[in-house]
Structure 1
């Protein structure tokens, strides 16, 4: 019986095996390293994308906050204008109440009463027209800011104040612009009285203020009444202070949100001035 001898590996073979194993290990480490680097780069790209997305979201949020602040500022400005109108009404409430009392209580017996700086006691059923005789001179017209005052043409709150040094918000138009008049709250068919004795120089239809009456009250002063219906006077009439000149109309499309009102403007030598400076 022949016995096989166990094959023995020579030292050179062992070294080659060791080298081969080392190369395998090195290749494995290299492949693992490349995999790890690739994965790290992918994570880096993902992180950069997340940062970019976060920055875009922050910018969008910032824009949204700015837009909201602008809307709130706009609303606050509108509230300040409303508060200003209410405060003005408080200061003029007593005078407006006196005007309302005159509308309802005066009689035709005092139609020709002289106006001497006080509200004349007259009837508002018919306009008081000062007619000059044929060939006679027209009644003299004179008004002084130092000695005379205008009457309140209607009793009501001031919806929008005079403002020519800064713009104010117009709700219907949804814009800011200058206001050369005061806008007085009224009701449809409410009596509108002449604020001063004067001559009717025009009655015209204007897109913004509807039927508009302009009166010359002397010394370079003119008074303009807008949002009128059924004028009780004609062009060329001389009208006494406190006389009925018409009625409050439905608001034009320029004031639909503000509601029924009287547009009341005063000019001095063709330039708008604050009517409240001439009112009691």
Structure 2
């Protein structure tokens, strides 16, 4: 019986080499495929991480806290806070996916500087009006008329009467001249009162009549009180009838013979008239 013939040694070697090459090729392909798979997963994780960071940065820049990206009210809260700091109101509508709708910006059309100027202008006007009311007697009308009456400024006798139609004798001057006022005797330091309501127009120091207070009593009428001292009023003050204007001073050199007195003059539209006609 014939024995089975074994392959020649050279043929077996070639077969083994082919098998080894095939196994090596499979191993190389598997290793390459596994490496690519791992690299792909790492790239995917990296991309997701970058996407998450980008979303968080976007959310923070819009003033939305964690977990509020998809909440419409949360988004509005952050944007409203930022808008208030910027001086404008920004209304943002967001759906449940967190996608922002169209921004509607509502800003005040008036420049803040203009508002400040207008406010200051309004305040200045109010102050001016208030000052005018105080000058006019806090709402009290200063309106003297032909039927109005005057109080005597001081208790005393008339030393020299009003006289503009003829001259009268002045003892100290030792001469005759016209007298546009009523000269009333008084004791030094006596109170001098206002004959009616009015507004102080001026306070002057005149050589002939000393400290003289001019009070506007309305409708072109004015009163002049001379030979005074210790006047506490100032220009623009409102005075009521019977209120103290000042006190009788020592007479000026023009009235040294007559002695202490009150110079009381009344004018209508700048022309002297007799105050006794209204007393």
Change (3 A) 1:136 1:275: closer
Quote the residue 2:232 is aligned against: 232
SS in 1 for 2:228: strand
Quote the residue 1:169 is aligned against: 169
Unaligned 5+ runs, structure 2: 1-127
Quote the residue 1:198 is aligned against: 198
Quote the residue 2:145 is aligned against: 144
Quote the residue 1:134 is aligned against: 130
Change (3 A) 1:178 1:136: closer
Q: CA RMSD in A?
A: 1.4
Quote the residue 1:247 is aligned against: 247
Change (3 A) 1:135 1:234: closer
Change (3 A) 1:166 1:237: same
Q: Structure 2: how far apart are the matches of 1:276 and 1:229?
A: 24
Q: Structure 2: how far apart are the matches of 1:136 and 1:251?
A: 36
**Per-residue Cα deviation, 1:198-225 (whole angstroms, up to 9, x for no partner):** 0001001000000000000001100000
Change (3 A) 1:155 1:133: farther
Change (3 A) 1:134 1:163: same
CA shift at 1:191, angstroms? 0.2
* Deviating more after overlay: 135-144 vs 160-169: 135-144
Greater relative contact order (Cα < 8 A, sep 6+): 1
Q: Structure 1: how far apart are the matches of 2:129 and 2:271?
A: 33
SS in 2 for 1:241: coil
SS in 2 for 1:150: coil
Quote the residue 2:188 is aligned against: 188
Greater Rg over alpha carbons, structure: 2
Unaligned 5+ runs, structure 1: 1-131
Q: Structure 1: how far apart are the matches of 2:236 and 2:132?
A: 15
**Per-residue Cα deviation, 1:166-207 (whole angstroms, up to 9, x for no partner):** 100000000000000000000100000001100001001000
CA shift at 1:133, angstroms? 8.1
CA shift at 1:135, angstroms? 5.2
**Per-residue Cα deviation, 1:45-99 (whole angstroms, up to 9, x for no partner):** xxxxxxxxxxxxxxxxxxxxxxxxxxxxxxxxxxxxxxxxxxxxxxxxxxxxxxx
Q: Structure 2: how far apart are the matches of 1:183 and 1:203?
A: 19
Runs of 4+ residues over 6 Å off in structure 1: none
Q: Structure 1: how far apart are the matches of 2:132 and 2:270?
A: 28
Quote the residue 2:4 is aligned against: none
Alignment of 1:1-280 (within 5 A): 134=130, 137=133, 138-139=136-137, 140-146=141-147, 148-279=148-279
SS in 1 for 2:199: strand
**TM-score by structure 2 length?**
0.51
Change (3 A) 1:160 1:136: closer
Q: Structure 2: how far apart are the matches of 1:136 and 1:271?
A: 27
